[in-house]
Structure 1
Amino acid sequence: MNNYKLITISRYLSLFMIFIDYFININLSSSYSFFLILIFIINNQIRYFNLYDKKIFIHISLIIEFILIYILSNYIDKINVFFFIPMILDITNSKKIYNKYIYLIIAIIFSLIINIDYSLLSAFEYSFFLLVISILCIYIHNESLSKLNSQKIYNQLRISEDKLKKANSDLEIYIDSLEELTILKERNRISREIHDSVGHALSTTIIQLSAIEKLVSYDKDLKELVCELREFVKMSLKEVRNAINTLKPKEYEKYENLFKIKELINNFSKMTNIDVKMTVSKNTWKLSSIQLTSLYRVIQEALSNCIKHSNATKIQIFLNFNNDNLVINIKDNGTTCKNIIKGNGLKSITERMNELNGLARFNSSNDGFLIHASFPKNTRGEFIE
C-alpha cells in the first residue's frame, strides 16, 4: 500500500469515527453543532484535495480547523483524537508547510487544554496518543521521501545507463566507420604508389627492351633473349596491374568525396580544439557534385555556428545513406536557446536543402543544438549510381 492510499484511508476512518462519537456524546437538541461538524469535514476535505499546493490557504484552513474544534468543545463532552488525526496527516505530508513541528506541538497542546476540564488523565492520554501518531506520521513521511529519492536516483542511473549505452554504440559505429575509411584510403594510396613506381618502371623497361631488341638485330641469339625478357616484363606488368585493380577498393569511389569533408573536420578540430566525430553508414552511394557541394557547405556552416553561438566542446556528425535519401544529423553539446532565430547560417542550410528537394529542421534542448537535414538520392532529375 502506498503512502497516498494509507493517508486517505486514515482520514476517512477518522472522519467516520468523528461521526460515531458525535452521535454518542452530542447534545441532540443542538442542530448548530451538527452544522459545525459539516463545516469541519468540508474544510478538511477542501484542504486535502484542493489546497495541497497553496501555502497560504493551507495555513488559513488549519487555523479555521482549530477554531471549529474549540467551538465544538463547548457542545461535545470531550474532543477525541480523531478530530486531530486528519490535521496531523495534512501537516506531516504537506510540502508547503515548513514549520511542521510547531503546528504539531500546537495541536498536541491544544488537545490537552480543551480536554483538561473533562478529565486530566484522559487529556494526557489523548495528548500522548497524538504525540505517538505525530511521530509515526513523520517517520512514514520521511520513509516515503527516502523511497522517492531512491527511485529518483535509480531513474537517473537508468537514464545515464541508457545514454552511456547509446554513446558506446555511437562510438563503436564511429570507430568502424573511421577504420573502414582509413583502410580504404590506405589501400588506395598503396595501389597508387605501386602504379606510379613499379608500374612506371616496368613500362619504361619494356620500352627500353624494345629499343635494345632493334639494336641487337644482328645477333639472333641476343635478340631472342631480349625478346623473351621483354615478354616476361610485359607479363609482370600485367600481373602488377591486376594486383593494383584488386588492391584498389571499388568502394573508394563512393567515399572519395567524403574525404574532402573529413579534411575539413580535421582542420576545424586542429584550429578550435573542438572534438568533432563524423560517422558514415556503410551502404553509401556516390554523391554528385551538386550534392557534395551542398553537404560540404552545410557541415561547414554548422561547424562555424558552433564557434559563434553554442560554445560547444563536442560535435557529432552522422551521415546515414539510405536507399532513397541521405540523412544528416549534426549535434553539439553547447548552450541551449529557447527561441531559435534563423540567421544567415541557418537560412543558408535551409536554402541548400530546398535546392536539393530536401528539408532542414533545427532543435535546441538541454543536450545541445541539433541540425537534422536530408535530401533524396535522385536530386533534380540527376540519378546517382
Structure 2
Amino acid sequence: MNRKKLVTFIRYLSLFIVLVSSLNTTENILYPVITIIILFLIIINNQVRFFSLSNNSRLVLISYFLEFALIFILYNCTKTFNSVYFVPLILDISFFINKKYKYILLFFIIVSSFIISLDKNLYLALESSSILLIISILSIYIESENISKLYNQNLYDKLRISKDKLKKSNSDLEIYASSIEELAILKERNRISREIHDSVGHSLSTTIIQLSAIEKFLTDKPEVSDLVHELREFVNESFQDVRRAISELKPIEYENYQNLFKIKELIKSFIKLTNINVRLTISKNTWNLSRAQSIALYRLIQESLSNASRHGKASKIKIFITFNPSNLIVTISDNGIGCENIKKGNGINSISERIYELNGKVEFDNHNDGFTIRASFPKFLGGDFFE
C-alpha cells in the first residue's frame, strides 16, 4: 500500500470514528440537528482541504483553524471528546505543511487536546495527548522516510539519465574517433601513393626512355645492346610492379572522401578563427558525391557554422554526416541561445533552395539548449546519379 492510499484509509477511518463517537451521545437536546451539521462541515472541510487546497498553504492554514473550531463546537454540543477528532488534522499537517509551521501546529493540537480533556479528568487528558503525540511522531517519521525515498529515487533517476548521456557521448566519441582515424589513414595512403608515383614512378619511366635511346645508339654493338635491352626490360617490369603497388596502395574510397576533406578544412579554419569546439562525425559507408551535392553540403555546413557563431553564440557544434544506401542525412546542432522566431535570410534560403533542387528536405528545430538543422537528399534521382 503506497503512502497516499494509507493516508486516505487512515483519514476515512478516523472520520468514521469521529462520526460514531459524536452520534453516541444524547446529552444535548439540539444534538440531532447541530451535531449532524457540524459533522458534515468537518467532513466537507476535510475533503476540500485534502483534494483541492493542498497546493495553497494559506487556504490550508485557514482550513486547519476552521476544522479546529468546528471540533471545539462539536465538543461543546456533545460534551464528549475523542482524541481521534484530531487525527485527520495531524495527518494533513504532517504530510502537507513545511517544517516552519508543522511542529508549531502539532504542538498546538496536542496542548489543545490536553486542555479539552482536562475538563473530564487528568488521566484522560494525559491519555489523549499521549496518543496524539505518538500519532504525530509516527506521521512525521513516515513523511520523512517518504521524502528520503523520493530524494533517493530522484537522485537515481538523475544518475541513470547521466549514465545514458555518458553512454551516448562515449558512442559519439567512438564514431568520431573512428571516422577521423579512417580519414587520416585514407589521406596518408593517398599521399604515399602520390609520392611514389611522382618520385619513383617518374624516375623509372625516365630510365626506360633513356635506355631505349641508348639501345638505338648501340645497334653496331649487339652484345652491349642486348645487355641494355635486358636492363630496360627489367626496369620496365619494376615500373609495372610500382604501378601495381601504387594502384593497390591508393584507396578507392579516397575519391568518396575528397569532397569531405574540403569540409574538414573548412571546419579547421572555423575553429582557428572562432575557437568554437566543432565535432565532425562521418559514417563509414560513403559514396561519391556529385558536384551539386558537394556544393550543397559544403554551403549547408558553412552557413550553419556562421549562424551558430554569430547569432547562436554557441560554444559547441556537432555535425553528423550519415551516408545511407539511398540518401545522405546531415544533422548540425549547437548549444547556443537559439531563437524565438526563425527568420529565413539569404543564407538559409540559399541552403533550402540547394537542398530542394536535389529533391531533399531541410528542417530547423529551435529548442531551449540550442539550434538544430536536419537536411537530407537522395543519392539517386529517377535511377540516374546526380551530375
The residue that corresponds to 2:3 in the other structure is 3
> The residue matched to 2:78 in structure 1 has which SS?
coil
Tell me which amino acid in the other structure corresponds to 1:76: T
The residue that corresponds to 2:232 in the other structure is 230
Tell me which amino acid in the other structure corresponds to 1:7: V
> The residue matched to 2:263 in structure 1 has which SS?
helix
Contact 2:28–2:78, Cα closer than 8 Å, also in 1: no
Structure-1-length-normalised TM-score: 0.94
Unaligned runs of 5+ residues in structure 2 are none
Unaligned runs of 5+ residues in structure 1 are none
Contact 1:187–1:249, Cα closer than 8 Å, also in 2: yes
Q: Cα distance, 1:49 vs. partner?
A: 1.1
Provide closer, same or farther for how the CA distance between residues 161 and 314 of structure 1 changes in structure 2, counting only shifts above 3 A.
same
> The residue matched to 1:75 in structure 2 has which SS?
helix
The residue that corresponds to 1:166 in the other structure is 168
Q: More displaced, 43-52 or 105-114?
A: 105-114
Tell me which amino acid in the other structure corresponds to 2:120: Y
Q: More displaced, 361-370 or 280-289?
A: 361-370
The residue that corresponds to 1:80 in the other structure is 82
Q: Report matched runs for 1:97-112 at 5 Å.
A: 98-112=100-114
The residue that corresponds to 1:332 in the other structure is 334
Provide closer, same or farther for how the CA distance between residues 354 and 69 of structure 1 changes in structure 2, counting only shifts above 3 A.
same
Mapped to 2, the partners of 1:97 and 1:130 lie a distance apart of 18
- The alignment status of 1:122 with 2:124, answered yes or no, reads yes
Deviations 1:74-98 (A, max 9, x none): 1222321211111111111115785
- The alignment status of 1:178 with 2:180, answered yes or no, reads yes
Contact 1:276–1:317, Cα closer than 8 Å, also in 2: yes
The residue that corresponds to 2:16 in the other structure is 16
> The residue matched to 2:311 in structure 1 has which SS?
helix
> The residue matched to 1:316 in structure 2 has which SS?
strand
Q: Cα distance, 1:109 vs. partner?
A: 2.1
Contact 2:277–2:315, Cα closer than 8 Å, also in 1: yes
Mapped to 1, the partners of 2:385 and 2:26 lie a distance apart of 93
The residue that corresponds to 1:25 in the other structure is 25
Q: More displaced, 81-90 or 124-133?
A: 124-133
Q: More displaced, 133-142 or 328-337?
A: 328-337
Mapped to 1, the partners of 2:349 and 2:152 lie a distance apart of 46
Q: Cα distance, 1:61 vs. partner?
A: 1.3
Q: Cα distance, 1:4 vs. partner?
A: 1.4
Mapped to 2, the partners of 1:340 and 1:9 lie a distance apart of 52
Q: What RMSD, in angstroms, separates the aligned Cα atoms of the two structures?
A: 1.9
Mapped to 1, the partners of 2:233 and 2:213 lie a distance apart of 14
Provide closer, same or farther for how the CA distance between residues 65 and 56 of structure 1 changes in structure 2, counting only shifts above 3 A.
same
The residue that corresponds to 1:59 in the other structure is 61
Q: Cα distance, 1:121 vs. partner?
A: 2.3
> The residue matched to 2:76 in structure 1 has which SS?
coil
Contact 1:357–1:380, Cα closer than 8 Å, also in 2: no
Mapped to 2, the partners of 1:167 and 1:304 lie a distance apart of 25
> The residue matched to 1:217 in structure 2 has which SS?
coil
Contact 1:362–1:369, Cα closer than 8 Å, also in 2: yes
4+ residue stretches of structure 1 with deviation over 6 A? none
Provide closer, same or farther for how the CA distance between residues 347 and 294 of structure 1 changes in structure 2, counting only shifts above 3 A.
same
Q: Cα distance, 1:252 vs. partner?
A: 0.9
Q: Report matched runs for 1:208-227 at 5 Å.
A: 208-227=210-229
Tell me which amino acid in the other structure corresponds to 2:130: F
Provide closer, same or farther for how the CA distance between residues 43 and 346 of structure 1 changes in structure 2, counting only shifts above 3 A.
farther
Structure-2-length-normalised TM-score: 0.94
